[in-house]
Amino acid sequence: MEINQQCVVALTWILKDTLGEELDVLDDPVEFLVGGDDLFARIEEGLQGHTAGDTVALHLEPEEAFGDYQDKLLFLEPRSRFPADIEEGMTIEGSALPEGSNPDAPRDVLYTVAQIYPEHVVLDGNHPLAGIALRLHLTVQGVREATEEEIGRGTAGTGFFRIQPPDTGEHPLLH
């Protein structure tokens, strides 16, 4: 079966930056709904017409993937609002930010604790791959027709890969 709109594709991949540094490897196939909310448009375009066993190499500019890095998604918050065991690299759902946090900080964003100072914590609401051009080497492991339920939900059920546009109309968030 060829990949087209409203089908489910099982993919593995190697993700690199443009300097060739490996950023992510997916060895076990994960299913995505083509024509839904699971994949970036550029990836869906690149997969069209391919079948199981095919490999596809794509170059994605930041605007085709996780968007440009946005300084406005950096927030300096008082250290006292956070637990004592907070560590750099931890993630915090925007909806779970401590009371009194900057009201300009979007609540539909996943924040990474970027830096910790004695008096402040730096939260970064950018996706870790924002601002980075990517090279994606995909292998199509399988293709099948999408179920009515998957089409209705707009996803093959891989919720943490689901692409969700934020309420503000900014670049998509990957969950």
b vs e for 66-105, b when ≥16 Cβ sit within 10 Å of the residue's Cβ? bbeeeeebbbebeeeebeeeeeeeeebebeebeeebeeeb
Domain boundary (106, 124, 142) is at 124
Q: Do 100 and 16 lie in a common domain? A: no
> Would you state the pLDDT for residue 120?
97
The CATH number for 83's domain is 2.40.10
On whether both 37 and 117 belong to a single domain, the answer is: no
The string of pLDDT tens digits covering residues 89-133 is 999 999 999 999 999 999 999 999 999 999 999 999 999 999 999
1 assigned to some structural domain: no
The predicted-structure confidence for 48-65, as pLDDT tens digits, reads as follows 999 999 999 999 999 999
Our count of domains for the chain comes to 2
Note down the domain range covering 13.
Answer: 7-66+131-174
Provide the whole-model pTM. 0.79
* Residue 130: CA count within 13 A, CB half-sphere: 21
User: For residue 157, what pLDDT is reported?
Assistant: 80
- Residue 19, domain CATH: 3.10.50.40
Are 141 and 98 part of one and the same domain? no
Does residue 35 share a domain with residue 120? Answer: no
Name the average pLDDT for the chain.
90
